[in-house]
């Protein structure tokens, strides 16, 4: 199969973008980043892309009257660059059907919780506020809802005694980097299977051939033990 032609959307530091760039550079991901697009100028993720020799574009959302016109401009930029798949790597904007219809079932997001728990913003703090002992991250396809699209893979992360937002977010981020690259590599291998909704208004379903989409949740007992006071290894719940 030809490499994935990716457009990566960012709004900030771009650490998940860096994970993608590193995986491409060392041969773990058969893909090409055709464009890194940010809705904010001057963010660190743009510098990461430029250092890697990847084209960048800033389309400031504040320059547009509404979400649809912004999304249309983003679609044009991505298509002009040759992107056929889109990755949201810390992109802090909701996408409209204008965007999603242009890349049907080809927009991938990484979210810092075990969806459907804690969708939306600041999922790490939501987990802490609810007192859960296990959280994690989810790679999913994007639909018109807020973090409601078909799940591709998940990884579990314990909430340890004494965690605050920053320590928990850092532990989840380690898993985000690995899980996102792994899910994209499965897509690049042609293993993604999407079943459209059975009826209007229904939900699509996704599966990765030969892979359990609950990746990492087999380690939930170990993670729970850690949350109750054990010592955390460097990475938890990443799966095989």
Give the separation between CA 196 and CA 183, rounded to whole angstroms.
19
Say how far residue 65 (Cα) sits from the centre of its chain.
27
Closest CA to 207 of 189, 185, 191, 218: 191
Sequence-distant (≥ 6) Cβ neighbours of residue 124 within 8 angstroms = 112, 113, 135, 165, 168, 169, 172
Closest CA to 173 of 10, 8, 14, 45: 14
Give the separation between CA 184 and CA 84, rounded to whole angstroms.
13
Out of 61, 105, 111, 165, the active site residue is 111
Per-residue burial over 190-221, b if 16 or more Cβ lie within 10 Å, else e, is: eebeeeeeeeeeeeeebbbeebebebbbebbe
Kindly give the residue spans of alpha helices, DSSP state H, lying in 64-203.
Answer: 67-81, 97-100, 123-130, 165-188
Q: Is 177 a catalytic residue?
A: no
Number of Cα atoms under 13 Å in the Cβ half of residue 118: 21
Burial class (CB in 10 A: 0-12, 13-18, 19+), 94: middle
Question: Which residues are catalytic, by number?
Answer: 111
């Amino acid at each position: 199969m030809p490499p994935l032609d990716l457009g990566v959307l960012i709004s900030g530091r771009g650490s998940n973008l860096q994970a993608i760039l590193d995986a491409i550079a060392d041969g773990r991901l058969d893909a090409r980043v055709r464009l890194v697009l940010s809705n904010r100028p001057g963010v660190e993720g743009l510098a990461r892309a430029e250092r890697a020799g990847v084209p960048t574009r800033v389309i400031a959302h504040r320059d547009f009257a509404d979400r649809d016109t912004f999304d249309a401009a983003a679609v044009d930029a991505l298509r002009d660059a040759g992107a056929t798949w889109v990755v949201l790597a810390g992109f802090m904007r909701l996408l409209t059907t204008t965007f999603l219809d242009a890349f049907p079932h080809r927009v991938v997001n990484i979210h810092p919780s075990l969806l459907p728990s804690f969708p939306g913003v600041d999922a790490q703090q939501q987990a802490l506020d609810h007192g859960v002992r296990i959280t994690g991250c989810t790679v999913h396809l994007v639909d018109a809802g807020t973090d409601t699209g078909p799940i591709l893979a998940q990884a579990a992360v314990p909430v340890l005694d004494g965690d605050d937002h920053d320590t928990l977010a850092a532990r989840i981020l380690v898993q985000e980097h690995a899980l996102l690259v792994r899910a994209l590599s499965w897509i690049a291998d042609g293993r993604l299977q999407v079943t459209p909704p059975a009826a209007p208004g229904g939900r699509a379903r996704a599966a990765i051939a030969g892979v359990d989409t609950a990746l990492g949740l087999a380690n939930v007992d170990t993670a729970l033990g850690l949350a109750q006071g054990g010592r955390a290894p460097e990475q938890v719940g990443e799966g095989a």
